[in-house]
A = this chain, B = another copy of it.
Amino acid sequence: MMGPTVSQALRIGEVAKQVGTTPRTIRYYEELGLLPPAEHRASGQHRVYGEDDVERLREALQLKELLGLSLDELRELLEAEEARAARREEFWSEGVSPARRREILVQGLDHVDRQLELVRRRRDDIGALERELEEHRARITQRFDELT
């Protein structure tokens, strides 16, 4: 008998493959306190993860990769994500005043806006580089036409 679809139990190698990294990196992040230690586990036992862990790790690694963050910067970002998760939970729990709900949403907006600013700055830098290369390409094709 299977219960309702519960978060699939995954081992570290499978998690690493799914998010595009190595077991060593995941253990290292846990050691630094970047990731919560995989629960229910005595030393020497296998680490067990769920689909939600995979999603969180995937997002974190993508931000690190694309924004070129250090692990210290990544830590800040992950802590902000933690706070966000806590706010989400409070938002959906019962007996929360509309005023508090609004406050939570505003904080969520602040958070996503900060991330958007970082991402857009990168996008602009990449865009500038792309335009440079395109101009360079245009000069070459123009010279080609002049030659004909």
Interface residue from B66, B109, B129, B147 paired with A119 (Cβ < 8 Å)? B129
Copies of this chain, whole number: 2
Chain A 114-148 per-residue mask, 1 if CB under 8 angstroms from chain B, else 0: 01100110110111011001101100110110010
Q: Does B66 contact A126, Cβ atoms closer than 8 Å?
A: yes
Interface of A is mostly: helix
Q: With A and B bound together, what is the CA distance between A127 and B124 in angstroms?
A: 11
Residue A79, interface by CB 8 Å: no
Interface residue from B109, B140, B147 paired with A109 (Cβ < 8 Å)? B140
Q: A129-B62, A147-B98, A147-B102 are in contact. Are A134 and B116 (CB under 8 A)?
A: yes
Residue A65, interface by CB 8 Å: yes
On chain A, the number of residues with a Cβ less than 8 Å from chain B's Cβ atoms is 33
CB distance from A132 to the nearest CB of B (A): 9
Interface residue from B116, B125, B143, B147 paired with A130 (Cβ < 8 Å)? B116
Q: Does A140 contact B126, Cβ atoms closer than 8 Å?
A: no
CB-defined contacts of A129 to chain B, threshold 8 Å: 62-63, 66, 119
Residue A11, interface by CB 8 Å: no
Residue A112, interface by CB 8 Å: yes
Residue A50, interface by CB 8 Å: no
Q: Does A140 contact B108, Cβ atoms closer than 8 Å?
A: yes
CB distance from A50 to the nearest CB of B (A): 21
